[in-house]
Structure 1
Amino acid sequence: MNVNEMRWRRRHWLAALTALLGSPVSAVQPAPARRIDQDRLALSWVDSAGHWLGVLRLAPGGPRLDARLAIPTRAHALRVLPDGSLLAVARRPGDWLLHWTPSGQVLRWGWIEPDRVYNGHVLVSPDGRTLYTTETDFQSGAGLVGLRDTRTLQKRDEWRTHGIDPHALIRDADGQLLVANGGIATRPETGRLKLDLERMDSSLVRLAPDDGALLGQWRLDDRRLSLRHLALAADGTVGIALQAEHDEAERKQTAPVLAVFDGRQLRTAVPPAGLSLQGYGGDIASTGDGFFAVSCTRAHCVSLWHADGRYAGQWPLDEACALAPGRRGNVRAGGRTAGFELSAPPGEPAPQRLPLPTGARPDNHWTRL
């Protein structure tokens, strides 16, 4: 199925949902802003009934689902806006961006332009007026950052990322934009199929936030390591979750899952001898007190690292992926069917279980409200 066919089906799904609800979802008005509660998680998941967004409240009497909202395809990243509303982006190659509220109201959909695809991530400007979305021009394959109006989700401008397959983006300690170019070629007619891996070109780029000027670009020595997700430590160090694309199974199994960037140098964090993390970092979070947590989905654990790249331990978790900073420096992690609040570093107290909606399988990311 090509990209245009996927878009037609998704829009058909949205039209059917609108008819079922009896009113246009785009006509829903924003709910009054309310104080954000730090004991809630916004997440996306899939179950036997389809794909969902929702908010899970971690109340003392037990968790409950505050809201649930059907979506046409898998979501990827979620972001919180200054007024407490939320953004969700479709998994790449995606065609929708959704502005919604923690009560489950749809505010507006932002469908991608005909010759572009969303790459799953969005960043909010400090003043809340501009959204930066990572995108691909599927005719040329060039990576882009789209600049969109927060109120309308319409594109105002776009900048080159000086690479292909841009994924996560953050602001660094100096307020500049950092973008992870994953470096993996795809084509619209083959969707997520990875192509030409022998010519991978993954890089970390720094862009000026006012005009997109290229301020720096860094690559790892091992060109088969794809830079995917980013987190900022309290000391300004950036952690990057890696995904290995080597042809040889042994190299992939022993490949690093973390790189660290100190503003000048990009280098890998080497796992201890004999430790296999299967070369796949699904997500990354900074604990706020000097550690990076990296979910190792294929190794079924969450690994913990000092901000300088030294290994600090791990917690077992089946198909670990979604991560978010918890309270008091802990990490909230979601796996195949369960979530946990993990102490950092690993040790006492024991992980606290965070029950998920019945039958739910969390997607790649969640975020604390």
Structure 2
Amino acid sequence: MRRRDCLRALAALGLAVLAPTSSAAGGQRLWAAWDDADGRHRVGLLAVEGLALVPLAVREIPTRAHGLADAGDGSVYVVARRPGEWLLHWAPGSGRSNWFWQDGDRRFTGHTLLAGGRLLTVESEQEDGRGLILVRQPDSLQELAVWSTHGQDPHELVLDGDSLLVANGGVPTAPETGRLKLDLARMDSSLLRLDLNTGQWLGQWRLGDARLSIRHLARHQSGLVGIALQAEHEAVTQRQAAPTFALFDGQTLGLPSGQSPLAGYGGSIAALAGTDAAFALGCPRSGLVLLLDLQGRECGRLFLPEACALAWGAGGRLLAGGREMAWLGAGPGGEGRKVQAPGLRFDNHWTPATG
């Protein structure tokens, strides 16, 4: 049996387990992915009750997940970790699971977004690494249109008014090597703007350092976009000291000065509201969440092992997930504490559940 057939069989056996408690459903909820103590991959709906995470629904998935997109109706879109073969639309309430499997030369590259009644998935051609945005029908997951990202290794995308911002990571890979990085001298990372309705190219920006990969994006209510960077320098000392955060004001892409060395690795990023901190940046290799203001200046730190997954929720609550631990708080500078999550290794991203 081929690997893909085995994974499909596993996916078909994934069971959703609904929590019997109803009190947890009244609190803030979020979608999350994790590995359990046995190394099995899970996705689920969690509720925040006080300073505890209560599972409301859990199902097994065939490989690690990456991006999660809330559909607003009690369902979620889950994308496999790159180079990904599957996309899942899961509704725990009804038990419905709709899968899309890549059978051709394309692979999912980690993220998806609902916009204008359409589902946008970020993908790449395995043969030449060409980045693509696939416009899909939200229910059937079938392809409606294909847009170019004008680059390679595309990753996260966010809405910016009537346009779409896309992070082209720019790291060359090949089909036979999966995630192995090849010929980094050819890196070409960029931030791309596309027309949301037509996919037309509207602009493209690059940083002065070609070895800084643009990975994750978060748009603040001010209009500023915070960007998480991952350094790909060959020299360890240069990579460890590289900046992890960039800012885009709609016209200019730049690196705020005075950044602390954080192993050159920024993970998930979230935009905050109503606080002095404008962005939270998960830094798993440094074991902390970095808080930044609108000028990109550090204004706080939350220490958490392998901190990466972030969600900004109702009532000004910042939630962060790491390895066997989470941070649940009322926001930067507010009440909060670490809580244990034994046997759970949270994956890269969380997203609030609104439906």
Whether 2:347 is the aligned partner of 1:353: answer no
- Among 120, 142, 148, which residue is 1:154 paired with? 142
Whether 2:110 is the aligned partner of 1:124: answer no
- Among 20, 39, 51, which residue is 2:28 paired with? 39
- What is the DSSP-based 3-state SS (H/G/I as helix, E as strand, rest coil) of the residue aligned with 1:247? coil
Cα contact 1:135–1:144 (8 A) shared by 2: yes
* Aligned position for 1:282: 267
Task: Summarize deviations over 1:212-241 as a string: whole Å, max 9, x none.
Answer: 110000000011000000001010100110
Q: Determine the C-alpha separation between the residues in 2 that align with 1:19 and 1:348.
A: 42
Whether 2:104 is the aligned partner of 1:114: answer yes
* Aligned position for 1:141: 129
How much has 1:83 moved relative to structure 2? 1.9
Cα contact 2:27–2:47 (8 A) shared by 1: no
Aligned length: 342
Task: Summarize deviations over 1:304-334 as a string: whole Å, max 9, x none.
Answer: 1112212212111111110110343332110
Whether 2:154 is the aligned partner of 1:166: answer yes
- What is the DSSP-based 3-state SS (H/G/I as helix, E as strand, rest coil) of the residue aligned with 1:253? helix
Whether 2:56 is the aligned partner of 1:66: answer yes
- Among 55, 67, 70, which residue is 1:80 paired with? 70
How much has 1:285 moved relative to structure 2? 0.2
Q: Bigger shift: 149-158 or 103-112?
A: 103-112
Task: Summarize deviations over 1:31-59 as a string: whole Å, max 9, x none.
Answer: xxxxx865112111012151011111222
How much has 1:102 moved relative to structure 2? 3.8
How much has 1:343 moved relative to structure 2? 5.1
User: Structure 1 327/270 Cα, relative in aligned 2: closer, same or farther at 3 Å?
Assistant: farther
Structure 1 residue runs of 5 or longer lacking an equivalent are 26-35
Cα contact 2:184–2:232 (8 A) shared by 1: yes
Task: Summarize deviations over 1:67-120 as a string: whole Å, max 9, x none.
Answer: 110100000010111322111000000010000024482420011241100001
- What is the DSSP-based 3-state SS (H/G/I as helix, E as strand, rest coil) of the residue aligned with 1:250? helix
Whether 2:243 is the aligned partner of 1:256: answer yes
User: Structure 1 61/218 Cα, relative in aligned 2: closer, same or farther at 3 Å?
Assistant: closer
- Among 173, 187, 192, which residue is 1:200 paired with? 187
User: Structure 1 147/359 Cα, relative in aligned 2: closer, same or farther at 3 Å?
Assistant: same
User: Structure 1 246/110 Cα, relative in aligned 2: closer, same or farther at 3 Å?
Assistant: same
Cα contact 1:58–1:354 (8 A) shared by 2: no
Cα contact 1:68–1:104 (8 A) shared by 2: no
Whether 2:317 is the aligned partner of 1:330: answer yes
RMSD across aligned positions (CA): 2.1
Q: Determine the C-alpha separation between the residues in 2 that align with 1:121 and 1:59.
A: 28
- Determine which structure has the larger strand proportion and give its number: 2
Task: Summarize deviations over 1:321-368 as a string: whole Å, max 9, x none.
Answer: 1011034333211011111124543x343x233443x41100110111
Indicate the percent of aligned positions where both proteins have the same amino acid: 46
User: Structure 1 288/140 Cα, relative in aligned 2: closer, same or farther at 3 Å?
Assistant: same
**TM-score when normalising by structure 2:** 0.91
Task: Summarize deviations over 1:1-30 as a string: whole Å, max 9, x none.
Answer: xxxx9xx41432332564697xxx9xxxxx
Whether 2:352 is the aligned partner of 1:363: answer no
Cα contact 2:51–2:339 (8 A) shared by 1: no
How much has 1:177 moved relative to structure 2? 0.4
- What is the DSSP-based 3-state SS (H/G/I as helix, E as strand, rest coil) of the residue aligned with 2:203? strand
**TM-score when normalising by structure 1:** 0.87
User: Structure 1 365/353 Cα, relative in aligned 2: closer, same or farther at 3 Å?
Assistant: same
Whether 2:10 is the aligned partner of 1:13: answer no
Q: Determine the C-alpha separation between the residues in 2 that align with 1:117 and 1:247.
A: 27
Structure 2 residue runs of 5 or longer lacking an equivalent are 17-24
